[in-house]
Structure 1
Amino acid sequence: MEAMSFTAVGLGIIVLGAGLGIGKIGQAAIESMSRQPEMSSKIQTAMIVAAALIEGVSLFAIVVAWLVD
């Protein structure tokens, strides 16, 4: 039972970290687009790629957390 609570805490930390990371990327992208509107399409593409990488890493971390349990 105790291992299950450690897994839940680990999963919560993973989700929290992914959410904060994607939020930080979004914030930086919006600030960059407001400064240079002509570059918004390139900034948006880079933002989507970075968010996808963060989601991929968090998915692997969730799988590892379940396998360790």
Structure 2
Amino acid sequence: MTNLEVPGTVPADLEGDLASLRCDCALMAPHWTAPDRITALPVSPSLIHGVTVPSRSARMLDAMPEYGN
């Protein structure tokens, strides 16, 4: 579980309504910029190395119908 309280600060109001959330987002939107277009370049499989997956995680994914079966 995440601890949302930071010592010395006022706890966040997590009970706000949708209207206040939309207002907060509208106020922050001008501060966020995104590139016009992101072009992903293909990566050669020979450049992908050093990835290890714990056997416990591999077994868990293997048991999930969306991934393993």
TM-score w.r.t. length of structure 1: 0.26
Structure with more contact order per residue of length (Cα contacts < 8 Å, sep ≥ 6): 1
Task: Choose between structure 1 and 2: higher helix proportion.
Answer: 1
